[in-house]
A and B are shown apart, each in its own frame.
Chain A
């Protein structure tokens, strides 16, 4: 008879606990969201209204479209910024960095990826926002203001752009480490093959990057997931205004900053808590989809890459 592994069994409750907490969380989200769905239906997600009435719950109406718009807008910006930065950085670390500074660079980026995000937020609000406003937003608005992207007069600088840039800076180390690990795994023989055909370093790098394309996509998706879930740092720089505007310089809201800002007094109202939970639920679904999708891509790629 097999000996019973008591240690293993003693770990089981922890495992069960974690999963029950997770399951309970989903149930809570659904349950608390129900009232707002019953009252408004899909309009909670398709309208941009934030009407809180203190004494008459029937007059309350919440539509979080502006926050969804802002979340997607700022996260897409972040990813557009992080993509070239993280690929460039990964290639630099693996191919060009001298052996001596390679490890310190890797450790530093990993630390940067794990820093408390409020640190980025404060830096963003005090340094990044004024800098962007004076050196990027105003000049662009003045000379190219007729383009919708630059059409909004950048008052304080708190804007989609500021949030996007800050998020881009924040997720770059994270995306870069995923891309870096994949790039490091490219078998040496493919490198040799590329160079033996007369490729320049730039061309060879391009060929090898095309080989790890799935990992790059996964890294960027995961970065998107991080960016869209980020709260504190964003709420310090995005402007927190219910605003659906095409301009980069307009202030806006994101789902997470909306929740963070409104939760404190939401209990006074009849439906606000429910509306915020519904917004959170939306974020939850996006996060789940993005993470599952990228993990599948990554796993498939790694098992494929290991065959060579």
Chain B
């Protein structure tokens, strides 16, 4: 079974590696990422202090996670919103089922946390229609594919392919002209935002003492998703909790600069449903924005990881994507080096959050341990150290790929990984 997964995974890596579209797209992306990130870091040199402060804040929250979850839930409820704690994926899906039900039209903005739940699939299973509204995610959805980057999910799809897809749904013959394709996405989604019954998003941060959801974006779709439908549902991992709004603004600066932006176009802070008291001071919910706000805090293994002295740092990840662009393997195979979460740090998430141990093993053994991700990470996450430790855990449950098993045997038997053969290294 594991050997099959290994072969399939290897084939996928090699296919991606030989795909000239992926290569070309990644080269462009990496080059412009590096230039823009360096520019952003230079222009805002104070980000250095801010990221160090953010690391301390994250450390503090994760070592007091339980009380922060409690505080966050209380704050959310005091904002006339609904707070839920979901221990597992099943708990989360049950809550979502109750809150959303079936036969609804849903607009959704990019959220990897929802990938953890395989949310789109589960919503459709219940007879809901889901529209991804982030341009990249929309393309991925139409392709029935899998996101390949946390910030640019369709990084591997060339414009010709997008034109073909959009032509199919529009019935028109759209040229591979990027601004025109973007305009098409705008007009295609516009009425969906207004007709939708429900908006779903993740969160970049949840503020414990105000119960606020913080959304960071450039396209503006998350604003619609959180604002136009009558019901707004947020699904966010526990690691998104930050103590105060000040901490959230620090996050905004750190994450955007390391993601190569000066400032994201839009930062939304949402603290409860839309409300007014303008007629006779009588409070009414749901004026122009949502009447109901539901916030689901997803644990799914996070509290346990938070208690681990080494692996807890995987939860510091703010998903800036810097490590991916700097990873020599990711630069060749994109999100195929990963499962729900990508790259080296993704191996840790695959092991402890997705609990897909076969994949966690293979991803861990796809890492060259070069350490460049650690050098470039704003949160100082020591991914190579974690990967080594993960390989140790994987060894103890005997999920080691065959060539590596051979190496171990050779060293033990002959004192050399090469053994008596010529095959390895």
- Is A bound to B? no
